[in-house]
Structure 1
Amino acid sequence: MSSNNESIFPPATPTMSKKRADLAPDQVEAFRNFSSEVFKEGALDEKTKQLIAVASAHITQCPYCIKGHTKQAKQKGATNEEIMEAIWVAAEMRAGGSYAHAALAIDEIEKIDGL
């Protein structure tokens, strides 16, 4: 496994969080409130919400989100198998988007070829 020193991304630290908050305090407060509301237990339990977040983080390819939401999912009781299955759902959705959008290329090909 790689260490933080090997990463191309700076580590997520309290100092980094403070710098972001200092630069845009109102927006950070609004984002934190929004995040708290989104991840509260509701129609979906917190574990399920974190599994959705793990999958979404893989689709958006945010390394900070992947790490943070994987940790949260584990803390909410997700199993390793559930996390990996959520990641596979994300992989299918990302690949499925490429497959579905092939219709755009086919449409252009048909226009050019006069079909």
Structure 2
Amino acid sequence: MAKNVREMLNDFVNGIGEMRETNEAAVDAFMGLLGASYEPGAIDLKTKELISVAIGCYNRCEYCIVYHSYKAFEAGATPEEVRETAMVAVAFGGGPSMAYSVTLLKDCINEFQNDFQ
């Protein structure tokens, strides 16, 4: 059964906000690290988000897959680029990475690919 990836995305983003209410310094420090890491430099933002999709698939982190697939599309990635990125993760992570790539990531592609066209 397909997961509601848009609901998962919203739960994740809202959860960060709720956690910040009682842990402002720690959440802000984490978000500062993310912000600095995703600044375009020698590698552009789209590539960094695609790398994040691959790492999410490799680590089988559902919220990472959902969030970073959304952000990859926001940064201009195509469905083909997201799928190809996932296959790099599969090359390292084998069957478990394939399972997340052909289920959860597929649902993300179907849900988010038209949001930024």
TM-score (norm 2): 0.69
- The unaligned stretches of length 5 or more in structure 1 are 96-115
- The unaligned stretches of length 5 or more in structure 2 are 95-117
Structure with larger RCO (C-alpha < 8 A, sep 6+): 2
Runs of 4+ in 1 over 6 A off after TM superposition: none
Following superposition, the deviation at residue 25 of structure 1 comes to 1.5
Q: Aligned AA for 1:2?
A: K
Structure whose alpha-carbon radius of gyration is higher: 1
| Identity in percent | 30
Q: Aligned AA for 1:59?
A: Y
Query: In structure 1, what is the Cα distance between the partners aligned to 2:61 and 2:31?
Result: 18
Specify the alignment match of 1:27 in structure 2: 26
Supply the RMSD in Å over aligned alpha carbons.
2.2
Specify the alignment match of 1:11 in structure 2: 11
Question: Map of 1:47-62 to 2, 5 A cutoff?
Answer: 47-62=46-61
Specify the alignment match of 1:68 in structure 2: 67
Q: Aligned AA for 2:12?
A: A
Following superposition, the deviation at residue 13 of structure 1 comes to 4.8
